[in-house]
Amino acid sequence: VGFFTMREKLKLTWRPIKGYDVLDTGHGFSMVKFDLCADREKVTSGGSWLMFDHYLATREWILDFVAS
C-alpha cells in the first residue's frame, strides 16, 4: 500500500477528531502522531483494525524501537 493511500485509509477508518501526522520509519513500519490524546487512546485501545483485508497492528511508541 502506498504511503498516501495508507494515510487516507487511516483517516477514514479511525475518524479522528483532530489531525495526525504519519511518518514512514522504514521496513513496513509507520509512526503516527495524534494531535489529540483521545484520538490516540481510541486507536491504541479500540480493538482490531483492518486495512484492505489485513489486520493493522498498533502499539505505543517505545524509545529503543528499531525498524529493521
17 close to 39: Cβ distance less than 8 angstroms: yes
Calpha distance 3→11 (Å, rounded): 13
Distances (CA, A) of 33 to 5, 15, 44, 61: 17, 14, 12, 10
pLDDT of residue 67: 85
pLDDT of residue 30: 92
* pLDDT per position as a tens digit, 2-59: 889 999 999 999 999 999 999 998 898 999 999 999 999 999 998 889 999 999 999 8
Calpha distance 57→68 (Å, rounded): 16
Q: Where do the structural domains in the chain lie, given as residue ranges? A: 3-56
